Each structure stands twice: as structure tokens, then as C-alpha cells.
Structure 1
Amino acid sequence: MAQSNLKVAVQKFGNFLSSMVMPNISAFIAWGLITALFIPTGFFPNESLAIMVDPMVKYLLPLLIGYTGGKLVHDQRGAVVGAIATMGVIAGAEIPMFLGAMVIGPLGGYVIKKFDQMIEGRVRAGFEMLVNNFSAGILGAFIAILAFKGVGPAVDVFTGWLVAGVDWLIGTGLLPLTSILIEPAKVLFLNNAINHGVLSPIGVEQVKETGQSILFLLEANPGPGIGVLLAYMFFGKGNAKKSAPGAGIIHFFGGIHEIYFPYILMRPMLIIAVILGGMSGVFTLVLLGGGLFAPSSPGSIIAITAVTPHHASAYIANFAGVLVAAAVSFIVSAFIMKTGKQGEEDIEEAAKKMQEMKGKKSSVSNVIEGGQAAMPDNVSKIYFACDAGMGSSAMGASLLRKKVKETGMDIAVTNTAISNLPADAEIVITQEELTPRARQKVPNAFHVSVDNFLSSPEYDKLISALQFPANSELHEIVEDAEDNVPDIQDEEMAHDDDLLRPENIFLNKEFADKDEAIRFAGRVLVDAGYVEESYIEAMIERDNITSTYMGNDVAIPHGTEEAKKAVIKSGFTVIQVPNGVDFDGQKVRLIFGIAGKDGTHLEILSGIAVTCSDMDNIEKLAAAESVQTIMDIIGKK
């Protein structure tokens, strides 16, 4: 138990550190680009523009990390205090303070958070702005002084020890052994903390002395990951084999290493493949004198090429390091996959494991829930949000984007960090563990909680809700049914002509109240041989639990889950009430009494949803003067 708790704590810690870095990757890219172009050995040497390089690495990048760390803890006030405190570690050390910013930024956010909690409700009206500004300024200044005197020098000394350790590893030829730690650390989501918190500051110091550093390639090398994905392309099965090519492109050219983690989790022995691949790549780099003159952010072959020193030997060394790592990883992965059993559909289960590794729980099914808001009309944008806004949320966004495009809906789908969600966000998708944070950030949005960004079938409910926004009650019923009945193929339904018979369609009915209307619908189902007598009271009970009014003047009374045993066969009735009957304050002109056997409940509801989502159809049905007209509009299926 203690080991399990320690593992979860390490994973959450790594994920938090990563969340400080990932939203600022664009700043690292900008620094790398300016470095690649304008330093004396760059593509276009420019002495005046190159002046920006040192201030960016010394001030801009640590300040952004500290700002983001504070914001993660206490939103904007935490961000400001975190940035002030970070200035203390910057001034108190001689090296880039990425690691110091990761420490002091969240600490600043935590201190101001505790202060705000302490004075909550105690500030006199009219003094709020004064107290807020002075408290943040005073506490920020105090923490900055503490950082200047203590944290900065301490991190400086610690980094010095690390530099000495790295020099020793290089001198003894043991640097490849770092892959034993680095490659598993990726799966534990400590890669960004190691790369930008430890390796990058040391690498920057080495660049000042030698013009390049191999440390920038220890974590960023895409070779080990692409080797695993290539093995799945040739020797994988099922969805894993089909998805590996796309994942390989995203990983190798996009630099998102997180995308290959589920493939390793499917076959944990593959961690050996990436370790050996990483060690082989580092050995090759040491042997040939490889290295970069700035961090490769993200870790893609394109970024590596951009920050490789501009001479042939450097390109040969770095590309050889990537290719050797990929080859060794591929060979070992292929051996492991060919000598062991392999499931057909393991990728989604592995993706769930990945979310659990990030400290997020998993559940049997995804949940669509409105939180403080209902499904908005005319949705223009959907946000996928996670801690960092990259990796898993980027994958989920790409999957849903494809589904939205297939429906022809004009809705943009993008991914972002929770801290960067805009105030006017309409729909936000997050993992269940993160939904409370997302709701706190944008309480007026419609929130969708999922347990796995990669499980594409999970998005069908949202697509359906977007296509038929008025039918929120229907979606709830469909979800209930999906959790408890097997799938039914359309072909099976097409042969059942008994679902809706002419004698079960009633025109021009009048009812005193909804109970009378529901009992009438239930009696029709009993008389038609669809259900047993007890089903009628179950329909009343179901409506009392949650109203079966679904919008657009339509109600769909049906039995409770426990009443499924009372269903003899599938069928439904249509009852026209031109003058309407009251369903909990809503006027209902069309009543669909439903009984579903062995999952046909879903197909019936789906057909009704398609028909009744269009108000023109509702008006035609409510005004129909013959049973055949209604039959023609609805169709037997």
C-alpha cells in the first residue's frame, strides 16, 4: 500500500511539473529558433538580434514557468506572486533557473492562496482592491527575498553537483546508462521536469563552453518511441496496428512523445526496448560527438534538425543517434511482440492505464453532464482540456474533430490547458478527475467528463447531443440503456415490422393530466402484447423519478430499469394530443409510449430523436388527420 501511494504521489508530482512547462513550450521554441538563426554559428548570424538569446533563457523562460506554476495553484493572483518570487531565484543564481522556477512559482501561489483563505469575508467593503494589491505585493516581495537568499543559491549548488556528475558520466563512458532512468520517467510523466528542469540548465552551461550539449538529446530523442511504433505497424494486431502509423507521424514529426506511452503499457516488456534504444542512441552520440546548441522543444526530428550545429559532422552524429535508437528499439520490440501473446483490441485499455498512471481514475462508462449549464445552442467551439493542454487532450481533440467533420457540423475542436480555458467556452471535455477544476474555471460551460481521451466511441453521445440539442432527456435515457443492454445491429431491426402497428396510433386524444396520458400509453402496450400489466406502473414510476418530457412538445414515457423483465417484445405507440397535456409545466402534443426488448429501446429512441429534432415534423405529426400520415412520417423502423 505504501509503495502504491508513493507511486501515485510521484506520478502526480511529475504531472504537475509537466503542467508548468508544457503551456510554455512555444516560448522554448521561440528561444530555440532565435538561437538557431542569429548566434555566431547560426544560419544567419546577427550580432544585434543574438542579444535576445541570453535574456530569454535567463529571464523569460523561468518567469513563464514560475507564472504558470503560481497560476496552477491560485489562478491569476497566484501567477503574479509566483512570477515575483521567481525573479528572486533568477537574481540569486548564475545559471538559468528553470528548476528554481518550478519550486518557487507554486510556492508563491500557495502562500497567497492561504492568505486569501485567511482573510476571506473579513475585508471591509471598498477596501478589497487595496488589500488585494498590497497583500500580493508584500508577500511577493518577501518570497522573492527568500528565494534570492536561499532557493537560488541552493539550486545553483545543486546544479553544480549535477554538472559534475554529468561530466563524470561522460568521462567514464557511462552516460548511456541515464536511459535506464529517463525512458521509464517518460511513462511516469517526469520527462518534462527532467528535460527542462535539470538537463536544459546544465546543457546551456555546456553550450557556453563548447558550443553544443549532448544533454539536450537525452530525453528529446524520438528514436526509441518511433522504434516501438514501427514494430506495431509490422507486427501489431487490431486497432493498435491500425493506429500506429498515425501515432508515428505525430510522435516523430510533431514531437509529442506521450502518444506512444499506451503502446508500451499494452506490453510492459517494451520498456526494455526503449531503454536499450535510448542507451544505443546516447552511445552513438557520445561516440560521434553529437549534441545541440539549444533544447529541442518539442522532441521532433524537425526541432532537432533546427538546433543542430551547422556542420556536417554534427548532422551525421545526431541523425545517427536517432536512427540507431530507432533500429535497436524496433528490433527488441519486434522480438518481444513476436514471442508473446498479443490482444486484438488492447489499445483503449492501455490508454485507460495511461490515464491511471497520470493519477486519474477510470470508470466503466463516460458521463455527459451539464454541471451548472445546459447544452448550449449553436455551438461553435469545443475545448479538450487537461493539465498541460498537450498530449492526451491533443489526441482526443483530433479524434472528435474527425467525427464532427463527418457529420458536416461547423464546429471547431481544439485542445488547451485547463488554466487557459476562455471564459466564454461553450463545451469543455476533461477527464473525470479534472472536471471539478474545469467547472471552477468556466462554470457556465457545458462539461463532458470522460475516462479516456483515446476511446473514440465515447464521443458518439456528444455528437448525438450536438445534432439534437433539444433532446437532453433522450440522451439521458440512451445513456442508461447503453450501460445495460447489448448492441443491436440495424439489420436485425429492419426485419421487425411489428414495432409500430397502425392500431397503436391514436389521433385527437384528450387527457386530464400526464398520469392519465401515461396510463393510456401503457394500456396500449399491454393490449398490443408488448408488455405485461406491471409495466404500466413502472412507466408512472419512471416519470416520477425524472420527467420523460424531452422537448419539442414530445414526451417518451417508458418503464424503469427494473421493469425490463416485464417487456415481452419491442414496440411503441404514438398518441396525438393536439390541444396538449401538461408534463411538469411543459405542453406535450405527441406521446411515444416505448417498450424495448434486448436493446431495441436504443433503436426506437434513435429513430424518434431523428424525427422529432425537426419542429416541422412535430407540426406535421400534431396536425395529421390520418394514421397513415403518421406512419409515413415516422416509418415502421
Structure 2
Amino acid sequence: MTTASSPASTGSKARVGVQRFGTFLSGMIMPNIPALIAWGIFTAFFIEVGWTPNADLATIVGPFIHYALPLLIAYTGGSMVYNVRGGVVGVIATMGAIAGSDLLVANFNATLPEGESPLGQVHMFIGAMILGPLAAVTMKWLDSLWDGKIRAGFEMLVNMFSAGIWGFVMAVVGFYPIAWLVNGLMQTLGNAVSWLVEMNLLPLTSIIIEPAKVFFLNNAINHGVLTPLGIAEASESGSSILFLLEANPGPGVGLLLAFTFFGLGAARASAPGAAIIQFFGGIHEVYFPYALMKPVLIVALIAGGMTGVTTNMLLGGALRAPAAPGSIIAVLLQTATGAYFAVILSVVLSAAVTFLVAAVILRASRKRDLAAMASTDDAFGAAITQTEAAKGKSSDALRNLRGGAATQADGDGGAATVTEREITNIVFACDAGMGSSAMGASVLRNKIKKAGVEGVTVTNKAIAALDASADLVITQNQLTDRARHQTPDAVHVSVDNFMNSPRYDEVVELVQNQHEKNS
């Protein structure tokens, strides 16, 4: 397989840019989800309205969310840019922002008339996501200025003092402009969400969130806006509906059930397994290709998402902390006390509405799809052809979906995986490097083991963590452009679905042939 590709369109570049930004945000948040879960457990048990109130243990809740969580995010973001050194400087800078925010809030509250409710603390999650990487990248740039120019024996002295002094400078930056900026931004975003709630318009967010998920653009919205706002709300009231806007597994399982009963060919055969993985495993990516096969199905996802949000608004459904992954198990574990009925009903109704709308769409186009399938003997390809005909033009995303190849030679729609490079390290890559890529790696690892091939490792990583050690990289087709940018010298294979792809057999055959040739 070649690694050359045609120039990306402006729209594709924009999509990849948003994906890359969302992935970076996700990379700061996802490793710290265990800390968010721990904070949610403390909140659930020990605050005044918790399951087992305990005034002493409840004192952990405030410092945990105000200091520990933002500083963990800052360290993670800084270390992504410049290893431990970047993480340390990022933490110092974020501490300045936390202190600056507290001073701004205190000064504002001092001006309030007696009896008026004071402004609560602003938790510096967005500030950490700004300052962690910013402090690290500037520290990296400064180090490059005197790299190789330090007299022998003084390296440690220069390294320690330069990081300390620059950390001090960035803390001052955090204390003044960043704290002011983030406080204002959180106030604006909070007011916008409050207005949507008061006007009963919060369900309209599904019009943005559901299509964004299908095109892997949801991380920027979820981790950049919803999670910080949800945590701020949960710190005051103990829970937030915002954690459910993106994590609700109902729309996805509803779509997959519609394919189970009304789909055709390979899509119908694979849908039941995908539904189990999506609903209980929380890997939402498995339903994205089904929606991309027939983009009008996004309407069904939006309808289901809006139904779920409306149900939670009317009945008080909310979570104590983010549910990650978006599994029904994780959702139920994070459900606020007294909100189980609302949350469960919201999942059921959103799944039912998505199922009904998707079923109508699939039934309405069934005859055309059957005719196309009969002529091509390819249900996925037939659906893509039908979609392109309905759009009146071809689509890069759909063309990639058809062939399942990361690259195409002379527009022939895909080619077998062929390379002169010896394949010893295969990497599955996705946004966070956890859910769907871990599943795909497990599937291929078992196939390679059954084939009796030794000396080939199969791992999973976040796209941002890809490096030159990867010989062959496997991604979902919507993410291949970014993976190729990270590792241009590797062989790239794109698949429709990590759960089950015919491309896996090609890869197994490739490494098996190489192994036999070298033995």
C-alpha cells in the first residue's frame, strides 16, 4: 500500500483541524477521568445530601475539585507537550490562575449589597487546558535558545532555575489575564446554558452534538465546554444534566437496533454485536460508520438525542460526574441520587425514538438498497453509492468508507495491503487511545495469534501519541488523515469499524507472508 494521498480539500483540512484540537483536549481530560470518578464518589457519599453524609470526609470535595483536578489536567497537558518539565511548569502557571480567580471572586463579592448571594468559586479547568500546554511550549522554546551553549557542570543549575523562573512568569500571566479571561468565559457560558434551560431550549444542543459525534468532532465540545461547565454546576448542586448531553448511549443503540431489524447484508449482520459493545462497553465509535452509510440517519440520532435531553430536563435527570466511557454501566454509576428513573427513562426513550425514525428511513429506501446490493453484492458499498447519488456528488469520506483503505492508487477504489517494509509493530489509533482502538487491537492480536505468527506486537495508542516506531497504523477512515500526518513513513490502513473488518485478514496475510519469507 502506498502512503501517497490526494490533497485534502479545505473542508477536510478544517475537519481534521477541529478533530486534532478535540483530541488534544481529550488527551488532557481522559487520563484524569479516574480522578473525576473518585471525586464523584466522595460527592455521592459524603456531602450533606449524599448517601452517607459525613462532614469530615466532605471537606475533601472542595479542595479536590478546586485544586487537585485542574492541576492534574495542567500537568497532563504540559507533559503532552514537553514531558515532565512541561508538566511541572504547567502546574505552576495554573496555580497562579487559581489564585487569581479566587481573588477576582473575593473582590466581586466584597462589593455586593448585604444579603445578596455571593459568586461561587470558578474552577480553573479551562485555565488548566490553556496554561498547561502554553507554559510547556514556551518553556520548550526557551530551552532551545540555550541548548548546547551551557558550560559543562552548570546544566542542572540552569535547567532548575530556568524552569522555576519561567514558571513564576507564567504564574503571573495566569494570575492576571488568564484568570480574568476564564472567569469571564465561564460566566458567559454559564449564563448561556442557564438561558437555554430557562427557555427550555437545551434539547437543541443535540443538533450540534449528534452530528459532531459521527464526524469525530465531539471532543472539542464535550471536553472544552460541557465537562468544565458540568463540573462547576455539580460542585454547587451535586449533579449536572450537562454530563448527559453527549454520554447518553440511547441514540447509538437505537440506530444499531434499527440496522439489526431493518438493515441489509453486512451492516445487518454486524449491528447486534456493535450494539452490545456500544451500550455496555461505552465505545460509541462503533455506530458512526452506520450513520455515515446513510447520512440522513443523523436526523434519527438528533431526534433521539433531543428526546433524551428533554426527558432529563422535565424529570431532573443528572449525573454527579462525567460518565466515561459512555456505557450504560458508567452512566448508572454516576447517576445522582433520586435521578435513576429519569436517567434510565431518558436512555430508553432516546433509543426508542432513534430506532423508530431510523427504521422509517431504512424501510423507505429498502427497495433501492436491495437493487443496488443485487448489482454490487456489497451492502456497505451499495449504501454509499446510493448516498452519493442522493448528494449529487462524490464524497471523500464516503469514498474512503467504501474501500476501507487509508490510501488509494490511481483512484481504483482501494488496493490490497502491500509493502516492502517489514511489519513488526502494528498500532491501532483513535482519539483517546483507549476504547475503540483497544478493542480493535484485541481482535487483530487474536487473529495473528491464531495464524501462528510470532514477533509482531499489536498495541493501541492515541493518535497524538503515534511515533516513528509504528510500522503499520490502523485507524477509522475519518481519522486516517491525522494519523498519516503523525507517522508519514508508516503503512496506513483505514477500516470502517474496529470491531470486524476484512482488512484485518489482509494484514494477517501480509505479516504471515513476511514471517514465512524471513524464516
Shorter-chain TM band: 0.7 to 0.9
Distance change >3 Å, CA 299–CA 124, structure 1 → 2 = same
| Paired residues for 1:164-179 under 5 Å | 164-179=191-206
Secondary structure, in 3 states, of the residue corresponding to 2:492? strand
* TM-score, with structure 1 as normaliser: 0.63
1:229 partner letter: L
Q: Is the 8 A contact 1:264 1:271 kept in 2?
A: yes
Counterpart of 1:56 in structure 2: which amino acid?
Answer: F
**Change in 2 beyond 3 A, CA 1:158/1:237:** same
CA contact (8 A) 1:224 1:325 kept: yes
Judging changes above 3 Å, is the alpha-carbon distance between structure 1 residues 408 and 3 closer, same or farther for their aligned structure 2 residues?
Answer: closer
Q: Which residue of 2 aligns with 1:450?
A: 493
In structure 2, how many angstroms separate the alpha carbons of the residues matched to 1:367 and 1:113? 39
Structure 1: 5+ residue runs without aligned partners? 441-446, 475-550, 552-612, 614-637
Q: Distance in 2 between matches of 1:250 and 1:70?
A: 33
Change (3 A) 1:369 1:113: farther
Q: What secondary structure is seen at the aligned counterpart in 2 of 1:218? A: helix
Q: Hey, what's the Cα distance between the residues in 2 that align with 1:56 and 1:356? A: 45
* Structure 1 SS opposite 2:295: coil
Q: 1:293 aligns with which of 295, 299, 320?
A: 320
1:114 aligns with 2:141: yes
Match of 1:584 in 2: none
2:428 to 377, 381, 384: 384
- Match in the other structure for 1:327: 352
- Deviates most, 20-29 or 164-173: 20-29
Contact residue 23 and residue 417 of structure 1 kept, 8 A: no
- How far apart are 1:355 and its partner, in Å? 12
Matches of 2:486 and 2:98 in 1, distance apart? Answer: 31
Whether the aligned pair in 2 keeps the contact of 1:273 and 1:330 (CA below 8 Å) is yes
Corresponding residue SS for 1:449: strand
Asked if the contact 2:42/2:61 (under 8 Å) is kept, the reply is yes
Equivalent position SS for 1:450? strand
The change in CA–CA distance for 1:37 and 1:256 in structure 2 (over 3 A counts) is farther
What is aligned with 2:363?
338
Cα pair distance change 1:102/1:301, threshold 3 Å: same
The 3 A distance-change label for structure 1 pair 74 and 355 is: farther
What is the CA-CA distance between 1:331 and the residue it aligns to? 0.9
**Which residue matches 1:459?**
504
Report how far residue 392 of structure 1 moved: 4.2
Which of 18, 30, 36 is equivalent to 1:22? 30
Letter in 2 for 1:24: N
Aligned partner of residue 92 in structure 1, secondary structure: helix
Aligned partners of 1:35 and 1:294 also within 8 Å:
no
Match of 2:232 in 1: 205
Any idea what the Cα deviations from partners look like across 1:271-291, whole Å, max 9, x if unmatched? 111111111111111111222
Verify the 8 A CA contact 1:368 1:462 in the aligned structure 2.
no
Change (3 A) 1:238 1:76: farther
Change (3 A) 1:437 1:116: farther
2: CA distance between counterparts of 1:126 and 1:465? 51
Residue 97, structure 1, aligned to residue 129, structure 2: no
Greater RCO, CA 8 A, separation 6+: 2
Q: C-alpha distance in 2, partners of 1:362/1:129?
A: 46
Q: What corresponds to 1:232 in structure 2?
A: 259
The answer as to whether partners of 2:473 and 2:491 remain within 8 angstroms in 1 is: yes
**CA offset at residue 321 of structure 1?**
1.1
Cα distance, 1:330 vs. partner? 0.9
Higher helix share: 2
The answer on whether the counterparts of 1:382 and 1:428 sit within 8 Å (CA) in structure 2 is yes
Note if contact 1:280-1:324 (Cα within 8 Å) is conserved in structure 2. Answer: yes
Equivalent residue, structure 1, for 2:223: 196
- Match runs of 1:414-429 below 5 Å: 414-417=459-462, 429=473
SS at match of 2:149: coil
Change (3 A) 1:4 1:138: same
2:181 corresponds to: 154
Alignment CA distance shift 1:279-1:385 (3 Å)? closer
The answer (yes or no) to whether the contact 2:293–2:398 under 8 Å persists in 1 is no
- The letter for the 2-side match of 1:323 is V
Superposition deviation, residue 186 in structure 1? 1.9
Cα offset for 1:438? 6.2
Change (3 A) 1:53 1:392: same
Q: Is the 8 A contact 1:18 1:189 kept in 2?
A: no
Q: Match of 1:96, SS?
A: coil
- SS of match in other structure, 2:337: coil
- What is the aligned residue count? 457
| Deviation of 1:414 (Å) | 4.4
Query: Take 1:123 and 1:451, find their aligned partners in 2: how far apart are those partners?
Result: 46
1:290 maps to amino acid: G
What pairs up with 1:201-600 in 2 under 5 angstroms? Answer: 201-311=228-338, 314-340=339-365, 341-342=368-369, 344-346=378-380, 353=397, 362-364=406-408, 365=415, 383-407=427-451, 413-417=458-462, 429=473, 431=475, 433-434=482-483, 437=486, 449-452=492-495, 454=498, 456-460=501-505, 462-464=507-509, 467=512, 470-471=515-516, 474=517, 551=518
Partner amino acid for 1:59? Y
- From the two aligned structures, give the one with the greater strand fraction: 1
- TM-superposed deviation, 1:368: 7.4
Distance (whole Å) between structure 1 residues aligned to residue 503 and residue 270 of structure 2? 17
Cα distance in 1, alignment partners of residues 416 and 74 from structure 2: 35
**RMSD across aligned positions (CA):** 3.7
Write the distance in 1 (CA, Å) between the matches of 2:68 and 2:189. 23
- Compared CA separation, residues 400 and 5, structure 1 to 2 (3 A): closer
Shift of 1:4: 5.1
Indicate if the aligned counterparts of 2:426 and 2:472 stay in contact, CA closer than 8 A.
yes
| Structure 1 residue 109 displacement after superposition | 2.4
Amino acid across the alignment from 2:380: D
Alpha-carbon contact 2:79-2:87 (below 8 Å) kept: yes
Q: Is the contact between residue 71 and residue 419 of structure 1 (CA under 8 Å) also seen in structure 2?
A: no
Q: Which 10-residue stretch deviates more, 232-241 or 85-94?
A: 85-94
Answer yes or no: is the 8 Å Cα contact 1:240–1:347 preserved in 2. Answer: no
- Deviating more after overlay: 217-226 vs 249-258: 249-258
Which one has the largest radius of gyration?
A: 1
Partner Cα distance (1:370, 1:177) in 2: 51
Q: Which amino acid aligns with 1:390?
A: M
